[in-house]
């Protein structure tokens, strides 16, 4: 019996901080001991949620019996017209979330300090909840997300498999061109996503173009069953540069590959997602968030 990292599913958090690290050349056991300390009160107490996830190489070396066969680093996706999603894989990913930016910042800093001897901070991004969970384009993000009762089934590796109750993470920073998007009439903006702007109603029939975002990312297996993911993205940024820090959790990383192929025009129909005309990813990594039980064993 293993327990997942509950913070994956934490609700009501408006402040977020994502950190990516690369390990220094140290004994893996030292790195593991340092990561294990992250569950200490200095980092994870005081009202914040913490999710810890590892890159494929480190996790496979550290816990080979608990690494899913499908675990691998993120590969760049390059579409036929040159639009692309770059790979910027690192070794370790932390997600700190909470009710206010001050506590989240303090805990993110404490985590980085604890890891300082074994890992270099390579990228970080604070994020925030925008109005009623809207992307900066003004569209509600999360409408079709699995509800709380289904989310664990969608996000976690099933019992009995290597890595059980762990989760495959995708993290990508997207930079929006809001001026270009806002220049579209609202009806055209709605066709970009395939949903209405005010209340996120799905456009029906021919009203939803095949290039609409939700038409591209709804993917199925060979038997026609939908392959869902559990999304936890948040907006971020400054006036000069802003967008979406896209984060999702899944029982199987192949779902991300299918969705990205359909967004960037590398799937068989060659169509790209209209959304990629208005936003572009500048980072992309896959991680594995093992169960709390495995993390405790590492400690």
> How far is 102 from 112, CA to CA, in rounded Å?
16
Size of the site for ligand HEM (CB under 6 A): 25
Q: Is 66 in the site for ligand HEM (CB under 6 A)?
A: no
Q: Closest CB to ligand HEM among 107 and 213?
A: 213
B/e letters for 69-88, b = 16+ CB within 10 Å, e = fewer, are: ebbbebeebebeeebbbeeb
Name residues contacting ligand HEM, limited to 103-142 (CB under 6 A). Answer: 135, 139-142
Name residues contacting ligand HEM, limited to 67-86 (CB under 6 A). Answer: none
Shortest distance in whole angstroms from residue 40 CB to ligand HEM: 33
Is 132 an active-site residue?
no
Q: Is 63 in the site for ligand HEM (CB under 6 A)?
A: no
Interface residue with ligand HEM among 8, 151, 259, 295 (CB under 6 A) is 259
Report which of 189, 205, 212, 210 is spatially closest to residue 139, judged by C-alpha positions.
189
- Token pair 């914040």 is found at 48
Interface residue with ligand HEM among 18, 54, 93, 246 (CB under 6 A) is 246
Report which of 130, 277, 274 is spatially closest to residue 190, judged by C-alpha positions.
274
DSSP 3-state of 261: helix
Interface residue with ligand HEM among 214, 254, 261, 271 (CB under 6 A) is 214
With beta carbons less than 8 A apart as the criterion, state whether 253 and 170 touch: yes
Catalytic residue among 135, 141, 252, 273: 141
- Phi then psi dihedrals of residue 119, to 5 deg: -145, 150
Q: So which residues are the catalytic ones?
A: 141
Site of interaction with ligand HEM (CB under 6 A): 135, 139-145, 172, 174, 193, 195, 200, 213-214, 217-218, 229, 243-244, 246, 256, 259-260, 279
């Amino acid at each position: 019996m293993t327990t997942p990292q509950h913070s994956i599913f934490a609700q009501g958090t408006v402040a977020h901080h994502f950190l990516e690290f690369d390990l220094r050349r140290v004994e893996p056991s030292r790195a593991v001991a340092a990561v294990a300390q992250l569950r200490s009160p200095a980092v994870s107490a005081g009202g914040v949620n913490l999710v810890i996830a590892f890159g494929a190489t480190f996790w496979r070396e550290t816990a080979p019996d608990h690494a899913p066969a499908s675990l691998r680093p993120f590969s760049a996706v390059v579409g036929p017209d040159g639009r692309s999603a770059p790979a910027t894989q690192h070794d370790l990913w932390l997600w700190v979330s909470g009710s206010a930016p001050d506590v989240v910042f303090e805990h993110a800093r404490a985590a980085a300090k604890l890891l300082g001897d074994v890992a270099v901070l390579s990228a970080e991004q604070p994020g925030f909840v925008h109005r009623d969970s809207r992307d900066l384009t003004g569209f509600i993000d999360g409408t079709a997300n699995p509800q709380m009762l289904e989310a664990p089934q969608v996000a976690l590796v099933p019992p009995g498999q290597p890595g059980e109750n762990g989760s495959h993470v995708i993290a990508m920073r997207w930079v929006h061109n809001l001026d270009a998007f806002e220049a579209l009439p609202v009806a055209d903006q709605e066709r970009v996503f395939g949903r209405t702007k005010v209340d996120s109603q799905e456009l029906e029939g021919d009203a939803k173009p095949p290039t609409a975002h939700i038409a591209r990312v709804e993917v199925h297996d060979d038997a026609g069953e939908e392959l869902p993911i559990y999304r936890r993205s948040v907006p971020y940024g400054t006036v000069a540069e802003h967008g979406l820090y896209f984060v999702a959790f899944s029982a199987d990383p192949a779902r991300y590959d299918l969705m990205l192929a359909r967004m960037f025009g590398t799937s068989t129909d060659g169509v790209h997602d209209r959304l990629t005309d208005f936003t572009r990813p500048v980072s992309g990594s896959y991680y594995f968030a093992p169960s709390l039980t495995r993390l405790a064993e590492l400690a």
